[in-house]
Amino acid sequence: MPKLTVNSIEVEVEQGASVLQACEEAGFEIPRFCYHERLSIAGNCRMCLVDMERAPKPIASCAMPAADGMVISTQTDRVKKAREGVMEFLLVNHPLDCPICDQGGECDLQDQAMGYGHDGSRYKEAKRAVEEKQMGPLIKTIMTRCIHCTRCVRFATEVAGVPDLGAIGRGEQVEITTYLEKTIASELSANVIDLCPVGALTSKPYAFISRPWELNKTESIDVMDAQGSNIRIDARGNQVLRVMPRLNEDVNEEWISDKARFAIDGLKTQRLDKPYVKRDDGKLEAASWDEAFTAIAKNLKKVKPNNFGVIAGDQIDAETLFAMKLMMEKIGSPHMDCRQDGADIDGNARGSYLFNSTIAGIDEADAILIIGSNPRIEAPVMNARIRKQYLASGLPIAYIGHSVDLTYPAEYLGSNASILADIAENNHPFCNTLQSANNPMIIVGNGVYTRHDAKALLHHISEIVKTFDVVHKGWNGFNALHNAASRVAGLDIGFLPGKSGKSARAMLADAADEKMAMIWLLGADEIDTSKLENTFVVYQGHHGDVGAHCADVILPGATYTEKNGLFLNFEGRVQEVRRAAFPPGDAKDDWSIIRAFSAVIGQPLPFDTHEACRQMLLSSFPHFAEIGQIRSSRWKKIGKSGKMSDEPISAGLTEFYMTCPISRASQTMADIRTSRENNTKQIAAE
């Protein structure tokens, strides 16, 4: 490893590190605009200039590899003068409109102008003006502010994998623009807002809403998918105004999806803020909590425990699932299920439903086979990690399912389930790739788990795992990719059919046949509600979505931004959401609703506070106390030999933007979906 001296301090850095990284390792801040540690080196801005011994002029530290014996100075008069000169040039055409800029208070240019700039400008000529660009409903552009750092271009090309951004012109006339002024075709597009060091690219939905110092900041977790991206929720008063990414190298690095960032306007619309009870005329009317509980209890008395079931949705916290399971046990009903999509997942073998390699483990994979999943839609941030590993190592990737664009080259093997049997029997061209890999990875999506012949497919996948040594000492390459944030916690808790209990799919079928008299929908909206026409339905949730439309009683709950709770992402990593605002009106935390109802029916649960509920959960499932940690589990052979259907294997999700009650209530998500569809039509027409 190279050793060099920075301002008389000797420092040792890893091979391949830059001089800039060496300086910061020694404790000296280096200003920069174009440099970003997750992007390629551009060397555009020259703000990172430092002096190097025997060099005739200052060097760009971001582009200079650190080498043995280098003597670097960062605080000389020449460096100071050079930085002042660079800053003066950067501000020549900048409009200096800080008072009306949404970047104000969070602007790198503003901060570095104060720290390293000159007290005035010698430029007296007319400033350049650039026409605004149209980048869709998410990104607001004021390109006169652009300093041509090209961070946005490099992100779109390298991380997102969509070469939609580029530069035209030369010198002072350079302009950053999109192809045919279309929306950036990426589920990660809005990360360019965070990357922009000036106010050229800002959030269009957040424009002129608030200043950063007015906001209360709460560290939390995204539940729009099952990856559990680390986020920061910014609220003013009781209103959530924006969501920002938080750094977590093992989960999301520093990226979040557009849905995680912008679906929050759905928190304000179609909200359930009071209980409702369906009267004799068939109309829902607002009611008190006592009236709602009385109506449920009255019907529950008429129903045998074996004719009552609960289906849990995709964004339910672990404490609520635990409370509901306890209440169902007291009632004596075995019918409960956290798999509203009908996924056939065995809750007894934990290693069979986790992403065992971990997200960070993708960096160690040397071959990937994706089955029944589209990671770009189901987990876009993880998909970017796969692309990162592809760019770093060129690892071979193949997928089985519908033909999709994954943002990286991948061999399409087809959609026929028989391909799995061919690979298991070592009778397929891709077998050579799996055979030669040291750390092969298999990703199994809901496109497999939700099939009626899921066990047969999983049997062949188990054979593939065995044949190609996918699971061996120091490596577990079997990975289940879930779409639901609450799925792993539900499986761990055992929110599954008990002895003689029915699955969600079976409960709905029985309801259609009038064999299931009462069903409690615990935030479950992704189901076929037409089968519930002759069933007494209790809907507990936060939006007037699908489940509420068929309900006889509605109990208003809290969203993930309005409560404290535990979630497990698809790795099995324990994560915590924290309250950033309070539920509207009479809405309550979901666990407390269940606790209150249990007292009404004479079966009170043994806790009165959220903390007591959590402690009881932790006593039953100790690994839930390990916040931020993963408890690995041994993989066991899964599936069952049987006939596979001729039905093509599909992905678990085909829609990205509107997949849950919150995102379906979001106008921003509706706008971006429409914009993307129009892009597709425009390009097809040309």
The string of pLDDT tens digits covering residues 539-548 is 999 999 999 9
Relative orientation angle of helices 590-600 and 610-620, to the nearest 10 degrees: 90
- Using DSSP bridges, classify how beta strands 574-577 and 565-568 pair: parallel, antiparallel or unpaired: antiparallel
Q: What is the pLDDT of residue 678?
A: 80
For a pLDDT cut of 90, what percent of the chain falls above it? 85
HSE-CB for 530 with a 13 A CA cutoff? 1
- Using DSSP bridges, classify how beta strands 478-480 and 440-444 pair: parallel, antiparallel or unpaired: parallel
Q: What is the pLDDT of residue 635?
A: 86
C-alpha pair distances (Å), 385 with each of 198, 332, 362, 364, 369: 26, 45, 7, 11, 15
- 315/654: higher pLDDT: 315
Q: What tokens does 616 get?
A: 């009881």
- 230/178: higher pLDDT: 230
Q: What is the pLDDT of residue 120?
A: 77
Q: What is the pLDDT of residue 1?
A: 86
Tell me what the mean pLDDT of segment 272-294 comes to: 95
- Using DSSP bridges, classify how beta strands 216-221 and 230-236 pair: parallel, antiparallel or unpaired: antiparallel
Q: What is the pLDDT of residue 139?
A: 95
Tell me what the mean pLDDT of segment 558-571 comes to: 97
Distance CA 568, CA 487 (A): 8
Answer yes or no: are the C-beta atoms of 376 and 383 closer than 8 Å: yes
With tokens 């803020």, the residue in question is 273
Tell me what the mean pLDDT of segment 577-590 comes to: 97
Answer yes or no: are the C-beta atoms of 74 and 7 closer than 8 Å: yes
Distance linking the first and last C-alpha atoms of the chain: 53
Distance CA 195, CA 158 (A): 13
Which segments of 7-63 are extended strands (E)? 9-12, 49-52, 59-60
Helix (H, G, I), strand (E, B) or coil at 302: helix
Give the pLDDT confidence of 189-237 residue by residue, as tens digits: 999 999 999 999 999 999 999 999 999 999 999 999 999 999 999 999 9
Give the pLDDT confidence of 386-433 residue by residue, as tens digits: 999 999 999 999 999 999 999 999 999 999 999 999 999 999 999 999
507 secondary structure, DSSP code: H
Apex CA 170: angle with CA 164 and CA 173, to 5°? 90
Distance CA 560, CA 316 (A): 8
643 secondary structure, DSSP code: P
Tell me what the mean pLDDT of segment 648-655 comes to: 90
Distance CA 126, CA 223 (A): 49
Per-residue pLDDT band for 34 (boundaries 50, 70, 90) equals very high
Q: What is the pLDDT of residue 125?
A: 84
Per-residue pLDDT band for 134 (boundaries 50, 70, 90) equals confident
Q: What tokens does 583 get?
A: 């539920």
Q: What is the pLDDT of residue 683?
A: 58
Q: What is the pLDDT of residue 686?
A: 56
pLDDT at 180 over 80: no
Distance CA 387, CA 552 (A): 47
Relative orientation angle of helices 590-600 and 318-331, to the nearest 10 degrees: 20
Helix (H, G, I), strand (E, B) or coil at 65: strand
Give the pLDDT confidence of 95-120 residue by residue, as tens digits: 988 999 999 999 999 999 999 988 77
pTM over 0.85: yes
pLDDT at 51 over 90: yes
Averaged pLDDT score across all residues of the chain: 94
Q: What is the pLDDT of residue 682?
A: 63
- The DSSP-derived string for 87-116 is HHHHTSS----GGG-TTTTS-HHHHHHHHH
Sequence-distant (≥ 6) Cβ neighbours of residue 76 within 8 angstroms: 51
pLDDT at 476 over 80: yes
Q: What is the pLDDT of residue 122?
A: 85
Q: What is the pLDDT of residue 681?
A: 64
Closest C-alpha to 543, from 671, 660, 659: 660
Distance CA 345, CA 334 (A): 17
- Using DSSP bridges, classify how beta strands 574-577 and 553-556 pair: parallel, antiparallel or unpaired: unpaired
Q: What tokens does 488 get?
A: 């792993």
Distance CA 240, CA 578 (A): 13
